[in-house]
Amino acid sequence: MSESLPAVGAMIWVQQVDILYTKASRGAPAAAARNRLPRAFPAHHSGGDSYRFEHYRLLEWADFVPALERSERASTPPGNQGNLMLEPAQGIVKLGLRWNHAIGEPPRRDQPSAISLPKGKVARLIINGRSTSYSGQIYMEVTYTVAYDDVLKPDVFVKSQVTAELDMRADLF
User: CA 162, CA 159: separation in Å to the nearest integer?
Assistant: 9
pLDDT at 8: 52
CA max distance for the chain: 50
Q: Residues 2-40: pLDDT tens digits? A: 444 444 568 999 999 999 999 999 888 999 999 999 999
Q: 51 in a domain, yes or no?
A: yes
pLDDT at 135: 83
Give the structural domain span for 46: 11-167
Q: 3 in a domain, yes or no?
A: no
- Number of structural domains in the chain: 1
Q: Residues 77-134: pLDDT tens digits? A: 999 999 999 999 888 999 999 999 999 999 999 999 999 999 999 999 999 999 998 8
Q: 97 near 125, Cβ under 8 Å?
A: yes
Strand-strand pairing, 67-74 and 80-81: unpaired
Short-list 121, 139, 122, CA closest to 131: 139
Mean of the pLDDT values across residues 166-172?
Answer: 94
Does this model's pTM top 0.85?
yes
> Poorest-confidence range of 43-52, 61-70, 79-88, 150-159?
43-52
Q: 173 in a domain, yes or no?
A: no
Task: List own/partner pairs for 29-37 with CB under 8 A and 24 or more apart.
Answer: 34/60, 34/64, 37/64
